[in-house]
Structure 1
Amino acid sequence: MAKWTPTHEAPEPLEGPVVATIIGGTVLWFVLFLAQLPFYGWYDDHGHAWWVWTCLAGGGLGLIGVWYVRGRDAAIKRDAEHGRSQVVEP
Protein backbone atom coordinates (compact mmCIF):
# COMPACT_ATOMS: atom_id res chain seq x y z
CA MET A 1 0.00 0.00 0.00
CA ALA A 2 2.89 2.39 0.58
CA LYS A 3 3.51 2.40 -3.14
CA TRP A 4 0.18 4.19 -3.72
CA THR A 5 0.68 6.84 -1.04
CA PRO A 6 1.23 10.25 -2.65
CA THR A 7 4.73 11.58 -2.06
CA HIS A 8 3.99 15.17 -3.04
CA GLU A 9 1.32 17.73 -2.24
CA ALA A 10 -1.63 18.19 -4.52
CA PRO A 11 -1.40 21.20 -6.83
CA GLU A 12 -3.52 24.26 -6.24
CA PRO A 13 -6.83 24.22 -8.15
CA LEU A 14 -6.86 26.17 -11.39
CA GLU A 15 -9.01 29.26 -11.31
CA GLY A 16 -10.11 30.97 -14.47
CA PRO A 17 -13.07 32.85 -15.86
CA VAL A 18 -15.55 30.35 -14.42
CA VAL A 19 -18.64 32.55 -14.68
CA ALA A 20 -17.91 33.49 -18.30
CA THR A 21 -17.30 29.84 -19.19
CA ILE A 22 -20.60 28.70 -17.68
CA ILE A 23 -22.52 31.56 -19.30
CA GLY A 24 -20.95 30.74 -22.68
CA GLY A 25 -21.90 27.07 -22.36
CA THR A 26 -25.44 27.93 -21.32
CA VAL A 27 -25.88 30.27 -24.27
CA LEU A 28 -24.55 27.56 -26.57
CA TRP A 29 -27.09 25.02 -25.28
CA PHE A 30 -29.96 27.49 -25.83
CA VAL A 31 -28.71 28.37 -29.32
CA LEU A 32 -28.55 24.67 -30.20
CA PHE A 33 -32.10 24.24 -28.88
CA LEU A 34 -33.42 27.14 -30.94
CA ALA A 35 -31.54 25.96 -34.05
CA GLN A 36 -33.08 22.49 -33.81
CA LEU A 37 -36.60 23.62 -32.97
CA PRO A 38 -37.69 24.32 -36.59
CA PHE A 39 -36.68 20.76 -37.51
CA TYR A 40 -38.53 19.10 -34.64
CA GLY A 41 -40.77 17.14 -37.02
CA TRP A 42 -37.78 15.56 -38.75
CA TYR A 43 -36.15 14.71 -35.43
CA ASP A 44 -39.39 13.20 -34.18
CA ASP A 45 -39.91 11.14 -37.35
CA HIS A 46 -36.42 9.67 -37.07
CA GLY A 47 -36.59 9.00 -33.33
CA HIS A 48 -34.20 11.79 -32.36
CA ALA A 49 -36.56 14.21 -30.61
CA TRP A 50 -34.55 13.70 -27.44
CA TRP A 51 -31.73 15.76 -29.04
CA VAL A 52 -33.93 18.86 -28.92
CA TRP A 53 -34.95 18.27 -25.31
CA THR A 54 -31.38 17.51 -24.28
CA CYS A 55 -30.35 20.96 -25.50
CA LEU A 56 -33.19 22.57 -23.55
CA ALA A 57 -32.21 20.62 -20.42
CA GLY A 58 -28.57 21.67 -20.90
CA GLY A 59 -29.63 25.32 -21.06
CA GLY A 60 -31.82 24.97 -17.96
CA LEU A 61 -29.09 23.26 -15.98
CA GLY A 62 -26.68 25.91 -17.23
CA LEU A 63 -28.88 28.58 -15.62
CA ILE A 64 -28.54 26.75 -12.32
CA GLY A 65 -24.79 26.59 -12.92
CA VAL A 66 -24.60 30.34 -13.55
CA TRP A 67 -26.45 30.99 -10.30
CA TYR A 68 -24.11 28.63 -8.44
CA VAL A 69 -20.79 29.95 -9.78
CA ARG A 70 -21.81 33.59 -9.29
CA GLY A 71 -22.60 32.82 -5.65
CA ARG A 72 -19.33 30.89 -5.33
CA ASP A 73 -17.29 33.80 -6.74
CA ALA A 74 -19.07 36.25 -4.43
CA ALA A 75 -18.32 34.02 -1.43
CA ILE A 76 -14.64 33.72 -2.41
CA LYS A 77 -14.37 37.51 -2.74
CA ARG A 78 -16.14 38.06 0.60
CA ASP A 79 -13.81 35.59 2.28
CA ALA A 80 -10.74 37.25 0.77
CA GLU A 81 -11.89 40.69 1.96
CA HIS A 82 -12.77 39.35 5.39
CA GLY A 83 -9.42 37.56 5.66
CA ARG A 84 -7.51 40.75 4.83
CA SER A 85 -9.41 42.75 7.42
CA GLN A 86 -8.58 40.16 10.12
CA VAL A 87 -4.82 40.48 9.65
CA VAL A 88 -3.31 42.15 12.72
CA GLU A 89 -0.35 44.42 12.11
CA PRO A 90 2.40 44.25 14.78
Structure 2
Amino acid sequence: MRLWLRDSERRPDPVPAETDDRKAVLVGLGLWAVALVVVLVFARQLADAGDGWWFWTVVVGLVLGLVGLAYLSVKRR
Protein backbone atom coordinates (compact mmCIF):
# COMPACT_ATOMS: atom_id res chain seq x y z
CA MET A 1 0.00 0.00 0.00
CA ARG A 2 1.38 3.36 -0.98
CA LEU A 3 0.84 6.45 1.10
CA TRP A 4 1.23 8.96 -1.71
CA LEU A 5 -0.28 8.98 -5.20
CA ARG A 6 0.51 11.25 -8.09
CA ASP A 7 -2.32 13.50 -9.23
CA SER A 8 -2.59 11.50 -12.45
CA GLU A 9 -3.16 8.30 -10.43
CA ARG A 10 -5.88 9.67 -8.17
CA ARG A 11 -9.56 9.02 -8.75
CA PRO A 12 -11.80 12.10 -8.80
CA ASP A 13 -13.47 13.17 -5.55
CA PRO A 14 -17.04 11.93 -5.16
CA VAL A 15 -19.94 14.37 -5.42
CA PRO A 16 -21.06 15.56 -1.95
CA ALA A 17 -24.26 13.93 -0.74
CA GLU A 18 -27.33 16.15 -0.45
CA THR A 19 -28.70 16.09 3.09
CA ASP A 20 -31.42 17.88 5.01
CA ASP A 21 -29.56 19.02 8.10
CA ARG A 22 -32.64 20.73 9.50
CA LYS A 23 -34.32 17.36 10.06
CA ALA A 24 -31.36 16.13 12.08
CA VAL A 25 -31.36 19.28 14.22
CA LEU A 26 -35.12 19.05 14.75
CA VAL A 27 -34.80 15.43 15.89
CA GLY A 28 -32.07 16.47 18.30
CA LEU A 29 -34.21 19.32 19.63
CA GLY A 30 -37.07 16.89 20.15
CA LEU A 31 -34.83 14.59 22.15
CA TRP A 32 -33.62 17.52 24.28
CA ALA A 33 -37.24 18.51 24.89
CA VAL A 34 -38.02 14.97 26.09
CA ALA A 35 -34.94 15.13 28.32
CA LEU A 36 -36.20 18.44 29.76
CA VAL A 37 -39.53 16.86 30.67
CA VAL A 38 -37.76 13.93 32.35
CA VAL A 39 -35.44 16.24 34.28
CA LEU A 40 -38.34 18.40 35.41
CA VAL A 41 -40.26 15.32 36.61
CA PHE A 42 -37.26 14.23 38.70
CA ALA A 43 -36.07 17.73 39.64
CA ARG A 44 -36.45 17.27 43.40
CA GLN A 45 -34.61 13.95 43.45
CA LEU A 46 -31.81 15.36 41.32
CA ALA A 47 -31.47 18.42 43.55
CA ASP A 48 -31.39 16.27 46.69
CA ALA A 49 -28.64 14.12 45.17
CA GLY A 50 -26.62 17.19 44.17
CA ASP A 51 -27.24 16.64 40.48
CA GLY A 52 -29.13 19.84 39.75
CA TRP A 53 -26.68 20.60 36.94
CA TRP A 54 -28.60 18.17 34.71
CA PHE A 55 -31.29 20.83 34.24
CA TRP A 56 -28.77 23.35 32.95
CA THR A 57 -27.21 20.76 30.67
CA VAL A 58 -30.58 20.19 29.00
CA VAL A 59 -31.22 23.94 28.74
CA VAL A 60 -27.84 24.49 27.06
CA GLY A 61 -28.56 21.61 24.66
CA LEU A 62 -31.86 23.22 23.69
CA VAL A 63 -30.30 26.66 23.25
CA LEU A 64 -27.46 25.32 21.11
CA GLY A 65 -29.96 23.37 19.01
CA LEU A 66 -31.97 26.53 18.42
CA VAL A 67 -28.79 28.39 17.45
CA GLY A 68 -27.96 25.60 15.02
CA LEU A 69 -31.45 25.72 13.55
CA ALA A 70 -31.18 29.49 13.08
CA TYR A 71 -27.79 29.05 11.43
CA LEU A 72 -29.16 26.46 9.03
CA SER A 73 -32.11 28.71 8.17
CA VAL A 74 -29.74 31.58 7.31
CA LYS A 75 -27.44 29.23 5.38
CA ARG A 76 -30.38 27.85 3.37
CA ARG A 77 -31.35 31.31 2.03
TM-score range, shorter chain: 0.7 to 0.9
Of the three residues 12, 17, 22, the one matched with 2:25 is: 22
Tell me how many residue pairs correspond in the alignment.
73
Question: What code does the residue aligned with 2:3 have?
Answer: K
2:76 pairs, out of 73, 78, 85, with 73
Return structure 1 stretches of 4+ with deviation > 2 angstroms.
Answer: 2-5, 7-15
> TM-score when scaled to structure 2?
0.72
Q: Which runs of 5+ in 1 are unaligned?
A: 75-90
Task: Name the aligned partner's letter for residue 33 of structure 1.
Answer: L
> For structure 2, which runs of at least 5 residues remain unmatched after alignment?
none
Distance 1:55 1:27 in 2: 11
What is the TM-score with the length of structure 1 in the denominator? 0.64
